[in-house]
Amino acid sequence: MVNKDSNKSVTDFKSGFVAIVGAPNVGKSTLLNRLLGEKISITSRKPQTTRNRILGVVHRPAAQIIFMDTPGVHKAKNPLNIKIVETALSTMGDADIILILIDVAKPDPVSEGVIVKKLQAANRPVILALNKIDLIRKDALLSIIDRWAAVYPFEAVVPISATEGTQVDALIASMENALTAGPPFFAQDTLTDLSERFIAAEIIREKIFRLTGEEIPYSTAVTVDLFKEEKAGALIKIQASIHMERSSQKGIVIGKKGAKLKQIGKASREDLERFLGAKVYLKLFVRVQKNWSKDTKALKRLGY
């Protein structure tokens, strides 16, 4: 919704949507959190952590930049991953600017090739951010810059480190330069359009990604069944279901005498309290939804 109360005229102010696109695990969510100065997009060392389009709003004195963090683009096979990639690629069509993020320390030529093909029909400014420059030598970086400059006529090529914050201000400036005049779309205090229920489910799913191994994270979906404020917002009660595909996976997530589930719950509650600014009572249930990631109806019910 356009904020019509803004004092800025269209000629004074710039605004627009930026799609952050890249292969899995290149640092898209880390970059979005860095840009916002607040964690709204979950992260882990495992690829394909992000499954939905995550929106975050950066407010500048003369501009409002709305970032859309997307799932990693990869060769998808099962219904869940196909939907994940479709989400990422469709977001490119909705954006005013496309921000391509590349991991210079661990390139992914297959995914990068898919993205470059899509750019040919983009017909909008494209900015390239070369991430994780803290992990390679300067001479290697220079050759990477030269190689990518020959691939596509980017509006700008900016080497960055999302983890350390290196050159992130320069990246924001390049995007602000590429924006066109327009009013702010969100009020000045808006950080994201995501509901607190959605972010709560994502935080819990992040802890499962970080605290379990093998196929468990990729067989997990989280839904929030209850989100209730009490004591004038000083206490929030949350009940959430962790959906697994097989009974054997349920046992792993619960752990011996419930130890793993307690660990997931404790880590989730601590993050939720930091984000929500209130005490959180969190109750987790583990349920089996057989082969949900291959069932299109189940995917819809679980929010994909």
pLDDT digits (tens, 9 = 90+) for 156-201: 999 999 999 999 999 999 999 999 999 999 999 899 888 899 999 9
Q: Is the pLDDT of residue 68 over 70?
A: yes
Residue 45 CB coordination number (10 Å): 8
CA–CA distance, 212 with 245 (Å, rounded to integer): 15
Q: Taking residues 250-271, report their average pLDDT.
A: 95
**Higher-confidence residue: 119 or 230?**
230
Higher pLDDT, 91 or 188: 188
What pLDDT is stored for residue 4 in this prediction? 41
Question: Is 80 exceeded by the pLDDT of residue 53?
Answer: no
What architecture is the 14-181 domain classified under in CATH?
Answer: 3-Layer(aba) Sandwich (3.40)
Domains of the chain by residue range:
14-181, 196-301
- Alpha-carbon torsion (37, 40, 45, 51), positive or negative: negative
Same fold, 14-181 and 196-301: no
- The DSSP 8-state label assigned to residue 161 in this structure reads B
Which 3 state secondary structure label does DSSP give 215?
coil
Sign of CA dihedral 43, 46, 51, 53: positive
One-letter amino acid for residue 53 of the chain: R
Which of 21-35, 61-75, 242-256 is predicted least confidently? Answer: 61-75
The pTM assigned to this predicted structure is 0.75
Percent of the chain with pLDDT over 70: 86
Tokens of 164: 């350390």
Residue 23 to residues 70, 108, 176, 215, 250: CA-CA distances in angstroms? Answer: 10, 7, 24, 20, 30
Residue 66 has pLDDT above 90, yes or no: yes
Tell me what pLDDT residue 193 has. 85
pLDDT, position 70: 77
**Closest residue by Cα to residue 70 from 58, 57, 54:** 54
Contacts of 157 (CB under 8 A, 6+ apart): 127, 128, 130, 145, 148, 149
Is residue 281's pLDDT more than 60?
yes
Among 2.40.50.140, 2.30.110.20, 3.30.300.20, 3.20.20.70, name the CATH number for the domain at 196-301: 3.30.300.20
Sorted by sequence, the CB contacts under 8 Å of residue 135 that are 6+ apart come out as: 104, 105
Whole-number pLDDT of residue 5: 43
The pLDDT of residue 255:
93
Mean per-residue pLDDT for 220-241? 93
Compute the mean pLDDT over every residue in the chain, rounded to the nearest whole number: 86
Q: Over range 239-248, report the average pLDDT.
A: 94
User: Cα(80)–Cα(76) distance, rounded to whole angstroms?
Assistant: 8
pLDDT of residue 300: 80
Instruction: Check pLDDT > 80 for residue 88.
Output: no
Token duo for residue 298: 């189940």
More confident residue, 217 or 96: 96
Residue range 261-282: average pLDDT? 95
> Mind listing the pLDDT tens digit for each residue in 1-47?
344 444 444 568 999 999 998 888 899 889 999 999 888 786 766 55
| Chain position carrying tokens 């404790």 | 266
